[in-house]
Amino acid sequence: MLPTVVMQRAREEFLDWHGTGLSVMELGHRTPEFIGIAEQAEANLREILSIPDNFAVLFLQGGATSQFSMVPLNLTAPGDRVDALYTGLWSGKALKEAGRYCSVSVAASSEHNHFTAIPNTSDWQLSANARYVYFTDNETVHGMEFQQTPKTGEVPLVSDMTSNFLTRPIDFSAYGLIFAGAQKNLGPAGLTLVIVREDLLGNARQDIPRLYDYAFNAKERSMANTPPTFCWYMAGLVLQWIKQEGGIPVMEQRAIARSSKLYQLIDASEFFSNPVTTGSRSRMNIPFLLRDESLNNTFLKEAKSHGLVALAGHRSVGGMRASLYNAMPEAGVDCLAGFMADFERRYG
């Protein structure tokens, strides 16, 4: 979801942005008008997340998936070692891709428990010579989220925060790089955000496309070529909205309130279940199963008639999944919870 007020604002200024007689979609990316939009978005992001000055913020394209290659191509040399935490579908994809460019060591894995619990930190096998430790802060498909920033000593963390970006504070002192596809909490699909510590820039492999080089993008202020201007503008409006709502503390508090409500209902029910252990549960994506799976289609059909959509689980795991991103109002969760309770009464 995107916040309704953001979409209303975009609609209002769609044909004529601030009296220019032009749509944002028609503004050249090097015009003072668009540069203003771009800079304001970055300033708001820096303020909201308290991003330290020694981090560059890049507004790129290619989706979060592009970062599965860009990260190792920029931060490792062939043969270098990186540690990875394998906790679900997205970290699995990322470490497979990274393995094409460097030596990936799985320091801990949730595979044996079918991705229902984040491995205990005491079981992680970290190596002192790893370039970085890679993890997926929120596993969107399996509904698992790290509850604390992993501790890796001197070795910097690299994290895919695609599905929980802007939902809680980030302790930048532990991180070398963070990336996020915009499409969950930041704006429409098409924009990929990278926040990278500046001392890590300038180590990209020589034979990669220049557009894949973080240092080049940082130097060109994310405008080496035409950026996704409309997405950048929309992200700017979302960031303004977050700021007006009270910033990250409010987003975090709402995320906890929304997800707790749904977990409580699921845990109290004999009919619905969530397989993830309590200490690993996501505040963003809540997968759940119906006791009788033959009712899945009925559940989805009836949900849709109540205006509740996008509840089918990811095709790789089945079942259901409620995604509760920042723009989801608590009333949305109440509506889902009411529907689920009623469904259980009728079919349970």
Ligand X SMILES: Cc1ncc(COP(=O)(O)O)c(C=O)c1O
Active site residues per annotation: 90, 160, 184
Contacting residue, 119, 181, 187, 319, with ligand X by CB under 6 A: 181
Q: Please tell me whether residue 280 binds ligand X under the rule CB under 6 A.
A: no
User: Residues 6 or more apart from 214 whose CB is under 8 A from it?
Assistant: 56, 58, 70, 74, 194, 196, 200, 201, 204
Choose between 136 and 274: whose C-beta lies nearer to ligand X: 136
Distances (CA, A) of 38 to 17, 154, 193, 231: 14, 33, 13, 10
Q: Which of 1, 6, 4 is nearest to 241 (CA)?
A: 6
Q: What is the 3-state secondary structure (H, E, C) of 192-252?
A: EEEEEEHHHCCCCCCCCCHHHCHHHHHHCCCCCCCCCHHHHHHHHHHHHHHHHHCCHHHHH
Pairing assessment for the beta strands 320-323 and 144-145 based on DSSP bridges: unpaired
Q: For residues 323 and 78, give the distance between their C-alpha atoms in angstroms, rounded to a whole number.
A: 38
* Identity of the residue numbered 159: S
**DSSP of 161-201:** -TTTTTSS---GGGEEEEEEETTTTTSSTT-EEEEEEGGGT
> Is 136 a residue that touches ligand X (CB under 6 A)?
yes
Q: Work out whether 97 is an interface residue with ligand X (CB under 6 A).
A: no
Q: Taking contact as CB under 6 A, which single stretch among the options 159-167, 206-214, 252-260, 321-329 is the one that binds ligand X?
A: 159-167
Residue nearest to ligand X (CB): 63
144/290 with CB nearer ligand X: 144
Min. distance of Cβ 248 from ligand X in angstroms?
19
Between CA 142 and CA 112, with CA 128 as vertex, the angle to 5 degrees is 30
State in angstroms the smallest separation of the CB of 107 from ligand X.
19
Number of residues that bind ligand X (CB under 6 A): 10
**Using CB under 6 A, which of the segments 17-25, 157-165, 170-178, 331-339 binds ligand X?**
157-165
Answer whether 3's CB lies under 8 Å from 238's CB: yes
Nearer to ligand X, 63 or 332 (CB): 63
Q: Which is nearer to ligand X, 142 or 340 (CB)?
A: 142
44 in contact with ligand X (CB under 6 A): no
User: Applying CB under 6 A, which of residues 17, 55, 90, 135 lies at the interface with ligand X?
Assistant: 90
Among 162, 240, 259, 326, binds ligand X (CB under 6 A): 162
Q: Is 140 in the site for ligand X (CB under 6 A)?
A: yes
Shortest spacing between CB 259 and ligand X, in angstroms? 16
The reply to whether 240 sits near ligand X by the rule CB under 6 A is no
What is the C-alpha to C-alpha distance for residues 65 and 317, in angstroms, rounded to an integer? 20
Q: Which is nearer to ligand X, 106 or 295 (CB)?
A: 106
Nearest to 194 by CA among 214, 211, 175: 214
Going from the C-alpha of 66 to that of each of 101, 270, 274, the distances in angstroms are 14, 42, 31
- Toward ligand X, which CB reaches closer, 27 or 95? 95
Extract the tokens encoding 82: 């990186």
Rule CB under 6 A: is residue 65 a binding residue for ligand X? yes
C-alpha 322/C-alpha 233 separation (Å) is 28
By C-beta, is 27 or 119 nearer to ligand X?
Answer: 119
> CB under 6 A: which stretch of 63-71, 102-110, 240-248, 318-326 binds ligand X?
63-71
In eight-state DSSP terms, residue 94 is H
Q: Does 167 bind ligand X (CB under 6 A)?
A: no
Q: How far is the CB of 161 from ligand X (least distance, A)?
A: 8
Among 97, 145, 160, 213, binds ligand X (CB under 6 A): 160
Residues within the interface to ligand X (CB under 6 A): 63-65, 90, 136, 140, 160, 162-163, 181
